[in-house]
Structure 1
Amino acid sequence: MAIADCTLQVDAGLQAEAEDVVREITRFDAEVTAIAERRAAREGEDAATELAPLASVLLRTESASSSEIEGVTAGARELALAAIEAKAGPNAQLVTANVNAMQRAIALAGDISVDTLLAAHQALLDRHVYASPGQLRDQQVWIGSNALSPHTASFVPPHHTRVPAALDDLIRFVHRVDLPVLVQAALAHAQFETIHPFNDGNGRVGRTLVHAMLRQSGVTRRLTVPVSAGLLTDTSGYFQALTDYREGYTETIVHQFINASFRAIGNGRVLVDDLENIFERWNERLIARRGSAARRVLPHLLNQPAVNVAYVESTTGVALSAAQRSVEQLEEAEILQRTNGNRRNRVWIAQDVIDALDAFAERVGRRCYRTHSPKDGPLDDDPER
């Protein structure tokens, strides 16, 4: 089904709801930016420096939720350890790769193209040969069946020879300027999932497309709203909406993205408030001079709550001895706790942040749960396939 030049009839009430969501997303982006600016003014720092950790933690929660929709799960502690290359399982590595894919797609949002999608896929599955990272599929795939043929599948995407033309049509649709932004993003996502251009990773790359479109349109300027966390609350409804779209019913997927976005903004606001309260408590608890390495590393702990001395050294730019001293000060203030007794590879955790991130995940309250481990390779009934 080509959609680039389709005339779309959008229910007036649905369009109004979609526009309300866009306003809320823009407001949330502005609220978090204002928080960072106030903190920067108080502490004499650059606003972009203060905003970066909050923007990063929201992007990571979006990536983790998008991965969990596909059954790839990893807790906040495991993800934090993976980010500093401490011991991490395969799921944490995949979620970390999803962060890279999201960053790649958003960085290229100024001119979304097929190459943007290929770059995101490359970043997502770079180490997974079976997925042909960065390449369109060259074989038929199907969804909803473990059989050796697609005859009993719930959905069979277009033949691989039709994928390039279908993606070109999708990109033309993405660049239309006559549609409500969230409606357009929801339909573009559903069309991408219908095309299913990759051997694996379609769901995660398809959700990066939504964020690239929000950034391209100017709805988000600095942040990534964790929309996937909203979708994760009702995965069965989300998958059914994709099925409805393939059967010609477009409104269901738009409803899903409207509801998911409202949930994501509410949950995101609570997370940002939690992190700001943690930061204020840390500032009161830490006995260190203004501008010290210990104080300079505090904002970074909000998005990277697992650190070692090497991380502190590279982040603050201080000498090794000063980095070691700053970690000791943070430990004395009970901001960091040691995770092991190995002096050579010692890692510290900011447990307050881990708890806030775990609380965010609990608030998602996922209704439908599927398990899948990347070590087993792709599953024939995986929605991403």
Structure 2
Amino acid sequence: MTVIEVPVPSLDSEELSWSPVNPDMLSRREVQRQPGIYRAALVPEIAGWEVHLPAEMHADVDDATGALARVDGFAAGKLGAGDRIGSPMPAILLRTESASSSQIEQLTTSALQLALAAIDETTKANATTVLGNVHAMETAIGVSGEISLQSILDMHRALLKSDRMMASEAGRFREQQVWIGPGGSGPLLADFVPPAHRRIPPAMEDLVEFIAREDLPVLVQAAVAHAQFETIHPFADGNGKTGRALVHAILKEKGLVTTSVIPISAGLLTDIGAYFAALGAFRSGDAGPIIAQFTRAARFASHTGRQLMDELLTMLHEMEQALAGVRRDSSTWTLLPTLIAQPVVNLSFVAAELGTNQVTALRAIDTLVDRGILLEATGRRRNRVWRQPGVLSVLDAFADSARRSGR
């Protein structure tokens, strides 16, 4: 593979002093080893960066941009305001992208567990954490107007507000030093040490100014903004997921992807090593690898995203066929698109979705069970949960395909 360099300002660093924060919790050896001088990143400004893309990379970016626009147009044609599906398809694509983003950080959950978490029917920690990422993505694509410091803080708050351990950090910049890689309880041996916390606000203001520019290819802008965000590492936790949510906010704000959430993180997931190496190259002064990773991920996401939509539309058609003979104006038909977005339901969810009482909701569920569309998943007489196995199978197969592509 040809390596194309795209110069970007490289990091400088500053010397800072470190001593253990909680020495009573460390071994004597660790207390003796920890104090010392370390180097923290000084992140260069990029708001005025002059971009010079080689012709080959420019063509690659154009191709990937066109692929994103085409699949967004496909989604618009299938999911327009008058379409039978309406909003459920964008909802499940958003959830799929959130799960892929989490997998990059080795946080995995099944489509079943994530759907259970959405109706508060699971205690699985991974599923509830990934659901937080769903909320962050929802906030990202819900940003109206230009992206601001506040909108980025809102994304982070949505990500961590339900995290029992990190809720106090939700929606605010970190106030301590963090580091990436080994180092135990200090940054002296870390692979990368982001800037000191006092340098975060001006660095983030510069990033927001960069995002506001209108003279850059959108995919290049999203890739570089993401890499700069990860370098600043402005939060105590959740930087990776918030940074990937930021990508979707940029694609939407710039008008490249308007209808749906194309699963770009699934494309990055196919080669996690190259993704992290590209972030390292960016910090060393070369934006070429991270731009290449995003163009590759965009093409992968466009192809597989369209396949996923086709398969989910096929599942909807099969469910419609199974309901042949049932009155079209019944609440049972109303539930079918909902099962694309939420393939696991309980009685409370269905009643709320239909805006009716639980007796009517249960009647609709019973019809779907009789027609083989829903399966009861608990074996209980009370507090039952039902699942749509076909949709769950399609979603799990999509996740598996991204992981297999990276092997």
User: What's the TM-score, normalizing by structure 2?
Assistant: 0.86
Larger Rg: 2
Query: 1:80 touches 1:306 (CA, 8 Å); kept in 2?
Result: yes
> Is residue 9 from structure 1 mapped to residue 46 from structure 2 by the alignment?
no
1:135-173 alpha-carbon deviations (Å, 9 max, x no partner): 101111111113333222111111111000000000000
Superposed CA offset, 1:14-41 (max 9, x none): 122112212211111111221234xxxx
In 1, distance between residues paired with 2:405 and 2:166? 30
Matches within 5 A, 1:107-186: 107-128=142-163, 129-130=165-166, 132-186=169-223
Contact 1:109 / 1:212 at 8 angstroms: preserved in 2? Answer: no
1:366 positional shift: 5.1
Task: Indicate the residue corresponding to 2:117 in structure 1.
Answer: 82
Contact kept in structure 2, 1:236 and 1:368, CA below 8 Å: no
- 8 Å contact kept, 2:160–2:166: no
Residue 229 (structure 1) aligned with residue 266 (structure 2) = yes
Q: Which residue of 2 aligns with 1:318?
A: 356
Distance 1:203 1:116 in 2: 16
Deviation digits for residues 50-69 of structure 1 (CA, Å, limit 9, x no counterpart): 23111011100000010111
Matched, 1:299 2:337: yes
User: Deviation string for 1:240-267 (max 9, x for gaps)?
Assistant: 0000000001100000000011111111
Matched letter for residue 11 of structure 1 = P
2:326 counterpart of 1:288: yes
SS at match of 2:87: helix
Q: Distance in 2 between matches of 1:48 and 1:122?
A: 33
Match of 2:133 among 98, 103, 108: 98
User: Which of 357, 360, 367 matches 2:395?
Assistant: 357
Displacement of 1:73: 1.0
CA contact (8 A) 1:15 1:183 kept: no
Deviations for 1:83-139, whole angstroms, at most 9, x for unmatched residues?
111123111001111111111111115220111111111110113344611110111
8 Å contact kept, 1:64–1:73: yes
Between the aligned partners of 2:166 and 2:403, the Cα distance in structure 1 is 32
**Aligned CA distance change for structure 1 residues 16 and 148 (closer, same or farther; 3 Å):** same
Cα distance change of structure 1 residues 198 and 366 upon mapping to structure 2, 3 Å threshold = farther
SS at match of 2:310: helix
RMSD: 1.5
**In structure 2, distance between residues paired with 1:72 and 1:226:** 16
CA distance in 1, matches of 2:285, 2:158: 32
Query: How far is 1:368 from its partner?
Result: 7.0
Q: Deviations over 1:337-359 (max 9, x none)?
A: 00012222011000000000011
Q: For the residues of structure 2 that align with 1:262 and 1:367, how far apart are their CA atoms?
A: 13
1:109, 1:215 within 8 Å by CA — same for their partners in 2?
A: no
Is the contact made by 1:267 and 1:363 (CA closer than 8 Å) also made in structure 2?
no
The answer on whether the counterparts of 2:75 and 2:259 sit within 8 Å (CA) in structure 1 is no
What is the match of residue 98 of structure 2? 63
| Aligned equivalents of 1:196, 1:109: Cα separation in 2 | 24
d(CA) in 2 for partners of 1:319, 1:125: 33
Residue 208 of structure 1: aligned partner: 245
Matched residue SS, 1:348: strand
What letter is aligned with 1:313?
A
Q: Who is 2:316 aligned against? A: 279
Worse overlay, 122-131 or 303-312: 122-131
Instruction: Name the counterpart of 1:19.
Output: 62
Structure 2 partner of 1:339: 377
Q: Deviations over 1:179-208 (max 9, x none)?
A: 100001100000000000000100000001
Percent pairwise identity: 43
Give the TM-score normalised by structure 1.
Answer: 0.91
Equivalent-residue separation in structure 2 for 1:314 and 1:303 (angstroms):
15
Inter-partner Cα distance in structure 1 for 2:369 and 2:131 = 27
Equivalent residue for 1:35? Answer: 78
Closer, same or farther in 2 for the Cα pair 1:321/1:130, shift >3 Å?
Answer: closer
Structure 1: how far apart are the matches of 2:64 and 2:252? 15
1:206-235 alpha-carbon deviations (Å, 9 max, x no partner): 001110000001111120101001001110
Q: Which runs of 5+ in 1 are unaligned?
A: 38-45, 370-385
